[in-house]
Structure 1
Amino acid sequence: MKASAFVYPWDVNGDPEAPARIAGLGVDQVTLAAAYHSTRALTPRHPRHRIVTAEHAAVLYPAGDRWDGRELRPYQAGGWAPGDAFGEAAAALTDAGLEVHTWVVLAHNSRLGAEHPGTSVVNAYGDRYPWAPCIAQPATRAYLIDLAAEAAVRPRGARHGA
């Protein structure tokens, strides 16, 4: 059995000691966030920040060409995970000898629901849940499938276990 840890890119990026510290925990692999919902996350050992606020659901890497011209597309992260934050963290973790796996949250996106209300779950009483994409909607389902497919090939060049 392999020991694993769930990690955000902002746990690693900007902290040159983080990959070795994580490997030193005795884990063999990490599951690294590639697409995540809004959150406020503690990073108590990071030298530059103690709390990270991800203001909305976002991909933590540059979205691919498959999204060009589409109404439903992933949002890019803000200053909390700029550029290819996922790729940068994945490379550092791989260099520390860790297997890197992708962590994607598909069904929690309040910004998508606020900007595209028709994508959200509606309960039996007609209440809309803007944070919950409704997979029964064909356009929403296509968006989520493509997001999962795009993330499934990440991290490129990383060492994967069996």
Structure 2
Amino acid sequence: MYHNLPSPFECLKETGPAPFLTKTYNIVEDSSTNNIVSWSRDNNSFIGFKKIDTERWEFAKEYFLRGHRHLLKNIRRRKTTSQTQTQTQSLEEGRFELEGEIQGLRKERVALVVELMRLRRKHESVKTYLHLMEEKLKLTEKKQEMMMDFLLKKIKKPSFFAELKET
């Protein structure tokens, strides 16, 4: 009954699942992405990983199961004979991978801040342009009103049509 439970010391040695696996799992698990990627009926496959049916784009990986996030730590990449590594190297690679990911996120953040500043400047420019256009529109409307008033005064004058015939 308890044969599947790890010993307390085993848990201390374990590293978490690769960030790629966690991100992929979260995307598949998120119901708002179901129109793009979702779990299969059996909850043991989705669009991603290894193709299992030539007629459908359905993919699966052992230990990648809906509702079993804790099993992600059991997923390992296929290793060639030259890829045998010690646990220390694996931890070092994980740290290096995290540092790389942090660097990438910092670069993305800087790019986003720059884009945000560009969009804010553009927004201000558009607001200024819109304000100028509103002022021009008001001026044009005022000129039209003045012209209409002028024409109405002229038309109401009895001699207007006589003067119009002469010209």
TM-score under structure 1 normalisation? 0.19
TM-score of the pair, normalised by structure 2: 0.19
Greater CA radius of gyration, 1 or 2? 2
Larger relative contact order (C-alpha < 8 A, sep ≥ 6)? 1
Q: Greater helix share, 1 or 2? A: 2
User: Quick check: which one's strand share is greater?
Assistant: 1
